[in-house]
Structure 1
Amino acid sequence: MKVYKYFVDPNKQEKWLNKMNDKGYKLIKNPMDFIFIFEESDTDYVTRLDYRDRMSMEGYSEYLSIHEELGWEHVRGGRFGMTPHTWTKVKDGNDELFSDKESKVSFYKRATSYTGTFAILFMVYTFIFFNSFDGEIFLTPGLFDMEGIMFWKAFLFELPFALMRAVPPFIFLILAVMFLYAYSNLNKAKKEIENDL
């Protein structure tokens, strides 16, 4: 069974994957962030996400072998740390990854850094755009005074450029919200670690 679903919050993704396990489905592939491939299973599985920074080939091989020795099956994730590692195994009461909380802090630090950096870039672009063009999106002189086929030709020609000018402020807003969300989750993950000490 193939399911298309996208998650901003990795905690929700992990909970959803485990609900699918409870319904009798085992995750066998996760080729992209929004594509999940399951197979039916009579066995109870648990799925965990682990967030790692870039690893050397040797470190990555060691990371895989340690988890596989503990019964975990690697579904997704590479040594470059671009996506979370997805692990699944048969439930046996020892169903937590040893570095779960620390890896979440690492993930949220990266998410905060990425979203913050791109939000700043889009904010600068938006600021430059609105100062350079007085906030106008369509720049063809007299565009809206044209009529008939001339209007439509000019409008359709300029539309892609207008969208390039109009979309970045919205992207900035989305990235700003994602930054705040990641920052909030980073603080929560840090507090979880502090409470365990």
Structure 2
Amino acid sequence: MRKFKFFIDFDKEEKWLNEMAKKGYQFLHKSIFGYTFQESEPENTIIKIDFRRFKNQADFIDYITLFEDSGWKHVSGSKGSGAQYFKKIDPNAHDDIFSDQLSKAGKYKRLSEMFIELGLCYVPIFAALVATDAIDIAALFHPKQLYLTKGLWDMTGGEFWKAFLFETPFVIFRTLSWLFIPIMILLYFTFGYKAQMLFEKHKNQ
């Protein structure tokens, strides 16, 4: 079974995954396409999430091994995915993968930095597209300029509506393609801000 959800707050995500386990859905994997579950017996389990990216596979393996030696199985996550999911398998292990509140808060700091980095990557691309007129900012504020049919606004009656309705889907597609990058910049910065606020909240608890 596959479910798609989006979380910034890891605590809420952990709670949801643990509730799914109680309903008989074992968490198997997380990707950009959502969460993959397998039907199983209801289970009172503890899943915790860290956020780390690694430059090389060796460091990633050492990281996983450290947790497994502490009674936590690595369920999902890769060297560059960021989010790392662990399931408690040793009943004698501590109920959290973090030893102190500052370490727990640190995952939100790393998440915030990732979102800000992604947003900043899009800024020069957007600026270059605007500078080369690949994106016409002025046209976005004057919708008539988005229509390229010569003399369209001087047409009347059926001739106008035929030309207008024919071109409108292309205008919508062109507008959405132009807005994609600024929307992504806004979303990444927004997510980065929210993650930073969660860092401050957990750091001060």
Question: Which TM bucket (shorter chain)?
Answer: 0.7 to 0.9
Is 2:136 the partner of 1:129?
Answer: yes
TM-score, length of structure 1 as denominator length: 0.74
Partners in 2 of 1:21 and 1:117 — Cα distance? Answer: 38
Aligned residues between the structures: 193
Instruction: Check conservation: 2:112, 2:191, Cα contact below 8 A.
Output: no
State the secondary structure of the residue aligned to 2:68.
helix
Partners in 1 of 2:162 and 2:13 — Cα distance? Answer: 45
Amino acid at match of 1:100: K
Which residues of 2 match residues 159-178 of structure 1 at below 5 A? 159-160=169-170, 162-169=172-179, 172-173=182-183, 175-178=185-188
Query: What is the aligned partner in structure 1 of residue 73 from structure 2?
Result: 73
Partners in 2 of 1:46 and 1:77 — Cα distance? Answer: 17
Query: What is the aligned partner in structure 1 of residue 54 from structure 2?
Result: 54
Amino acid at match of 1:18: N
TM-score, length of structure 2 as denominator length: 0.71
1:147 Cα deviation (Å)? 7.6
Aligned mate of 1:105, from 106, 109, 125: 109
Query: What is the aligned partner in structure 2 of residue 118 from structure 1?
Result: 122
Partners in 1 of 2:178 and 2:41 — Cα distance? Answer: 45
State the secondary structure of the residue aligned to 1:78.
coil
What RMSD in Å do the two structures reach over aligned CA positions? 3.6
1:25 Cα deviation (Å)? 2.6
Amino acid at match of 2:147: F
1:174 Cα deviation (Å)? 6.0
Partners in 2 of 1:15 and 1:178 — Cα distance? Answer: 24
Aligned mate of 2:193, from 183, 188, 197: 183
Instruction: Check conservation: 1:119, 1:175, Cα contact below 8 A.
Output: yes
Consecutive unaligned residues of structure 2, counting only runs of 5 or more, are none
1:131 Cα deviation (Å)? 3.2
Amino acid at match of 1:183: Y
Is 2:27 the partner of 1:27?
Answer: yes
Instruction: Check conservation: 2:50, 2:107, Cα contact below 8 A.
Output: yes
Amino acid at match of 1:73: K
1:173 Cα deviation (Å)? 4.3
1:191 Cα deviation (Å)? 4.6
Partners in 2 of 1:122 and 1:146 — Cα distance? Answer: 37
Amino acid at match of 1:16: W
Deviates more, 1:183-192 or 1:165-174: 165-174
**Cα distance 1:91–1:126, how it changes in 2: closer, same or farther (>3 A)?**
farther
State the secondary structure of the residue aligned to 2:46.
strand
Residue by residue over 1:102-127, the C-alpha shift from the partner in whole angstroms, topping out at 9 and shown as x without a partner, is 22211121112213543675577579
Instruction: Check conservation: 2:72, 2:90, Cα contact below 8 A.
Output: no
Partners in 2 of 1:9 and 1:113 — Cα distance? Answer: 16
Amino acid at match of 2:86: W
**Cα distance 1:174–1:62, how it changes in 2: closer, same or farther (>3 A)?**
closer
Identity of aligned residues (%): 20
Query: What is the aligned partner in structure 1 of residue 202 from structure 2?
Result: 192
Partners in 2 of 1:50 and 1:101 — Cα distance? Answer: 10
Partners in 1 of 2:38 and 2:152 — Cα distance? Answer: 53
